[in-house]
Structure 1
Amino acid sequence: MKGLFDFTEVATYFFRKKDPNRKTNFNLRTMHLINKISMLMFLAGLVYLVFKLMTR
């Protein structure tokens, strides 16, 4: 059960430092931006569902 609520991967994805040795391009930056937006929307929906179930 403990592994189900382990969000360290998500937190480190949002707050990691940029690697100066890695080359970036527009496609890679866009892909990471879309991933971050989709994770935020998923977490917001999860919070909404939990809140909705708690207020019943």
Structure 2
Amino acid sequence: MKGLFDFTEVATYFFRKKDPNRKTTFNLRTMHRINKVSMVMFLMGLIYLVFKWMTR
């Protein structure tokens, strides 16, 4: 049950250092950019819903 709610991987996704040994391609950079945008949009929507529920 402890590993089920472990959000450290998501929290550290934005603050990782780039691996100098790994070759980056346009596709990989684009995939990571889309992932970051989608996570930010999800968190903003979640914050909006919580705020909406709290003000009722």
TM range (shorter): 0.7 to 0.9
Q: TM-score, normalised by structure 2?
A: 0.87
Q: TM-score, normalised by structure 1?
A: 0.87
Q: Please, which runs of 5 or more residues in structure 2 have no aligned partner? A: none
Matched with 1:26 is 26
| Number of matched pairs | 54
CA deviations over 1:15-37 (Å, ceiling 9, x no partner): 01100000000000000000000
Q: Please, which runs of 5 or more residues in structure 1 have no aligned partner? A: none
| Higher relative contact order, structure no. (Cα contacts within 8 Å, ≥ 6 residues apart) | 1
Would you identify which runs of 4 or more consecutive aligned residues in structure 1 move more than 3 Å? none
